[in-house]
Structure formats: structure tokens, C-alpha cells
Amino acid sequence: MAGLFDPLTVRGVTLRNRIGVSPMCQYSSTDGHPSDWHLVHLGSRAAGGAGLVMTEATAVTPDGRISPADAGIWADAHVAPWARVAEFVKARGAVPGMQLAHSGRKGSTREPWLRSSRPLAVPPAEGGWSPVGPGPEPFDPASPTPEALTPDGITDILEAFRRAAGRAAWAGFEWLEVHAAHGYLLHQFLSPLTNRRHDGYGGGFDGRTRLTVEVVRAVRAAWPDRLPLAVRVPCEDWTPGGWAVDDAVELARRLAAEGADLIDCSSGHVVPNVTYPVAPGWQVPLAEAVRRGAGVPVAAVGAITDPHQAEAIVRDGRADLVLLAREMLRDPYWPLHAARVLGRPDAESWPDQYGYAVRPAHREKS
Ligand SMILES: Cc1cc2nc3c(=O)[nH]c(=O)nc-3n(C[C@H](O)[C@H](O)[C@H](O)COP(=O)(O)O)c2cc1C
């Protein structure tokens, strides 16, 4: 079995190790344009030794943002600032990945750090919009009320994902992930808790999964054959009557048949007021179930913080890749520190500029 610091090759791309920076919204964009913050934030984590550095949920349409400060890839003008980020990440030896997303009924909400002092829903006068969803029900009473997507609206969204995938390739990204989890648009269609449609995009499993399957098909067609495509899939709603891990296994099989290369296994956040069984590595069993059940490569995410824990997840064949989110915020150099802890000096790829701090022979130089 491979270990944490063994490379992972998917299609024509090789990650230098099995450690990825999980997508994390930064709420630091203007009209979808990534800023210097993204260059420094994502660039630091590439310099920190991760194999894969993913962008945050990057909106395929303006109304697919979560907040007005979200990053986007809905316009050609977004390509140049993203290209700067992708180029720097590559120069530091990491693979730049982009997560494509549409927030659905969770759109037009406030940045998290403003939510305690201002209403959650952002009104149009403050840059908000009317979000869309599978139906007209809001996420919760504080969220904006969505409009149910029409067949034409669905066609537009498929086209937006397709065009966004083309722009991601144009910007130099080498890994793409479709966000179908965390209660955003695609998950809203997947879950029986939120999809009450009576047309071909609702009802049973085939109808509820149709939008996600069609998005992946459209993205795969626009994304170069030599580049990997992942899908972040919900593996549990943690609510009776909701989407569950067997659904995720069957969806993973269908997405693999559409050309998805890896399933990133997450869960939850499609309905409010749910208690999650959070503990170290709490979602790893879901990733393992999808890997075994569907026979596809998977990423595991959720409370992975310790190098030995991460090494065991990969070494025991529970996941092919581990993604770290909050731990990477605390320590951008986590992969380099993990290499030290696990006794892999060959993987301690500190930037030459930092050699004085980490290589004994340099320490006494002035
Ligand atoms: C600040 C922050 C922003 C996040 N934004 C995204 C996002 O844009 N897309 C996504 O799929 N998950 C997002 N997540 C979820 C993480 O990618 C990850 O799945 C989750 O935090 C669990 O991993 P952790 O326990 O290592 O933090 C975000 C998490 C945090 C903490």
C-alpha cells in the first residue's frame, strides 16, 4: 500500500504526495475576481509542501456565489488573476486545483464574520440577489427565499459549469472538482430532504441524481482528457429520510462512468439543526465505504490533523488522498512538519529561501 508521501498519479497528473489543501472559502473577492489574498494564501500552502492545493468553492455564475465576496470563474476576466495563482502554486511543486460550485438556495448570504452583527440574507441594495434552488423553500427562516429552477434555468447552469471548466483549464489549473456536497445546489437536488420536484430532475434516485450526472458530463467534455476530474459528494445527510452512504456509493459508480476520476467524500449541511458526530477522522469510514463499494479512488476529509493519523488512512487503503482544511489554516507548513514527524527527510521540500531556518548546515551563516 502507498504511504502519505508516495506520489499519486491520476490521468496525466502526478501529486508529489497524498496531502491536499481542502477547498476553503476566503470571502476575499470583488465581483468574483481572486485577489492578492488568494495568491498569498494558496501560494503559502504550496510552499508548505502540499501535493494538491485547491481553490475555494469558485462560482460558475454570479448567483452561484454564497456571499458577494466569493470567488468566481463565470467571466473571462477571472482567468488572468487565477492564472497568476495557478502559476505560483505550480512553481512551488504543487498541483493547482479548482473547485467549481453553485450555491443554489444558500446564495446571497453574508460573510461568516459579519453574520453575528448583520442579518444573514444580503438584500439586493447591498449586492445580494434572488437565489435559485430545486424548489421555493429557503434553507432556514433567516436565509433568502429561492426561486425554483425552471428547465431553461437548468440548461443555463449546465452551460455555466461547462464554460467554467474551460476557463479553469485556460487559467492553468490541472485538477478540477465539482462541488456536489454541503447543501449547495447539486446536493439540494440529490437529497430527498430538499428535492420535492415532480419533473425529470426530482422523484426517485435517477431524477435526483440527474443534475449532478449531467453537470459532470458537461464538465468532463470541456476539461482536457489528460487532467483529473474529482467530485465532492455528500455521503450522509445525518438526518432520517436523507441521503445516505449507499446513495453515495451508487452515485460514485455513475460518476465514474461519466469520467470522474476521484470521489471526495464529505457530508452534511443540507438542512439546518443537525448534530454531527465530529471526532478525529469522523468521515473516513464514509470514504472507505465509497472506495470499497464503488471501486473508485477517493479523498477523505474531516478532522484529519495528525501525521500518523493521515499516514494510516492512506497506508491502510481507506483513502487515496487526504484533504486537510482547518489544520492547514493553523499550519501552512503541515506537510513539511509531517514529513519530519514521519521520518521522511526526502519529502522535506522547504523553499531554499527558508534553508537557514531548517537546514543545520546553514544555521550559523550570516
Ligand atoms: C473557512 C472554511 C471554508 C470552507 N469552504 C469550503 C469550500 O469552499 N468548499 C468546500 O467544499 N468545503 C469548504 N469547507 C469545508 C472543508 O473543505 C472541509 O471539508 C471541512 O472543514 C472539514 O475538514 P477539517 O476538519 O480539516 O476542517 C470550508 C471549511 C472552512 C473551515
Would 152 be classed as within a structural domain?
Answer: yes
Report the pLDDT value the prediction gives residue 1, as an integer from 0 to 100: 84
| Predicted pLDDT of residue 305 | 98
- Asked whether residue 3 is domain-assigned, the answer is no
Q: Is 27 a catalytic residue?
A: no
Residue 364 predicted with pLDDT over 60 = no
Domain-embedded: residue 342: yes
pLDDT digits (tens, 9 = 90+) for 174-188: 999 999 999 999 999
As for how many domains the chain has, the answer is 1
* pLDDT confidence of residue 361: 62
Cβ–ligand 1 distance for 327 under 6 Å, the answer: yes
pLDDT the model gives residue 359: 76
Is the CB of 25 within 6 Å of ligand 1? yes
Instruction: Tell me which of 184, 201, 333, 356 is the catalytic residue.
Output: 184
282 is a domain residue: yes
Share of the chain above pLDDT 90, in %: 96
Domain assignment present for residue 366? The answer is no
Domain range enclosing 100: 8-349
Q: Could you tell me what percent of the chain has a pLDDT over 70?
A: 98
Find the radius of gyration of the CA atoms of the chain.
Answer: 20
Residue type, position 334, single letter: W
The 10s digit of each residue's pLDDT in 68-127 is 999 999 999 999 999 999 999 999 999 999 999 999 999 999 999 999 999 999 999 999
DSSP code of 161? Answer: H
- What is the distance in A from the centroid of ligand 1 to the CA of 45? 15
Asked whether residue 340 is assigned to any structural domain, the reply reads yes
**All cell numbers assigned to 298:** 477517493
Categorize the per-residue pLDDT at 258 as very low, low, confident or very high, splitting at 50, 70 and 90.
very high
For position 45, which CATH number holds?
A: 3.20.20.70
Q: pLDDT tens across 50-64, in order?
A: 999 999 999 999 999
**Does 355 fall in a domain?**
no
Cα-to-centroid distance, 324 and ligand 1 (Å): 8
Q: For 146-173, how does the pLDDT look when each residue is reduced to its tens digit (9 = 90+)?
A: 999 999 999 999 999 999 999 999 999 9
Quote the ligand 1 centre to 302 CA distance (angstroms).
8
Query: Contact 53/94 with Cβ under 8 angstroms?
Result: yes
Residue 305 placed within a domain:
yes
Question: Which pLDDT value is given to residue 275?
Answer: 97
Q: Which of 106, 97, 83 is nearest to 51 (CA)?
A: 97
DSSP assignment string, 237-289:
-SSTTS--HHHHHHHHHHHHHTT--EEEEE---SSSS------TTTTHHHHHH
Mutational test site, ligand 1, from 19, 21, 22, max ligand atoms within 8 Å of CB: 22
Confidence of residue 363 (pLDDT cuts 50, 70, 90): low
Instruction: Give the amino acid at 214.
Output: E
